[in-house]
Chains A and B, each alone.
Chain A
């Protein structure tokens, strides 16, 4: 089983739609959680951290369910510019401050 699992998509949605991505992680010692965005042939960029109480940044909302080991990202009012791959990322307690990346969910926003 992969440490971080995501539906690879692609999710094809019309502009203005609301779309949700889910992610599960296997290591209960995971302590920090992030969503990264990666455009085609570019480096990943931090979209937002995910906090236990849930957090929002504009049109983006992230949720964490530690009991179910489940993370979600909700994008409201999708824009064409939101088209990218979204990576679910976790940090496990322990040495190295290492991050483990999911394989990503591809989003395509269409006119």
Chain B
């Protein structure tokens, strides 16, 4: 079945470490997105990519980096510059047109 796979489901990071969250889709969607969700704040856009080898900053890009070398893959790196990285991270994709997103099951990142 087609879908979006995020891994790992849970991730623990030490202070000062960089970590990379994986997002892979087999829906043949062109556009992919990374959101962060904190309690009571809803989803906030980190980065998005509409096409391979191109991506744009969202509303809260500081401390994060992405790449889009393949259509299927859009990994997110949480760098040590991100001061408050503990959150639920959601990857999504969509095709062109008036459609909503399909989300992955998310990664819960905790700083220990």
Given A43-B106, A44-B90, the answer on whether A97 and B96 have CB atoms closer than 8 Å is yes
A43 with B90: CB separation less than 8 A: yes
Checking B41, B56, B103 against A43 with a beta-carbon cut-off of 8 angstroms, the contacting residue is B103
A97 with B100: CB separation less than 8 A: no
Taking CB atoms, residues of chain B closer than 8 Å to A43 are 90, 103-106
In chain B between 35 and 60, which residues have their CB closer than 8 angstroms to a CB of chain A? 35, 40-43, 45, 48, 50, 56, 58
Interface size, chain B (Cβ < 8 Å): 25
* Cα-based distance from A32 to B48 in the complex (angstroms): 18
Q: Is B84 an interface residue (CB 8 A)?
A: no
Given A42-B105, A44-B103, A46-B100, the answer on whether A97 and B94 have CB atoms closer than 8 Å is yes
Q: Is A98 an interface residue (CB 8 A)?
A: yes
Given A36-B100, A97-B94, the answer on whether A103 and B106 have CB atoms closer than 8 Å is no
Q: Is A80 an interface residue (CB 8 A)?
A: no
Interface size, chain A (Cβ < 8 Å): 25
A49 with B98: CB separation less than 8 A: yes
Checking B42, B88, B90, B94 against A102 with a beta-carbon cut-off of 8 angstroms, the contacting residue is B42
Taking CB atoms, residues of chain B closer than 8 Å to A41 are 88, 108
Taking CB atoms, residues of chain A closer than 8 Å to B101 are 46, 99
Taking CB atoms, residues of chain B closer than 8 Å to A87 are 42-43
Q: Is B74 an interface residue (CB 8 A)?
A: no
Q: Is B33 an interface residue (CB 8 A)?
A: yes
Closest Cβ of chain A to B68, distance in Å, is: 13
B33 with A98: CB separation less than 8 A: yes
Taking CB atoms, residues of chain B closer than 8 Å to A25 are none
A96 with B56: CB separation less than 8 A: yes
Q: Is A66 an interface residue (CB 8 A)?
A: no
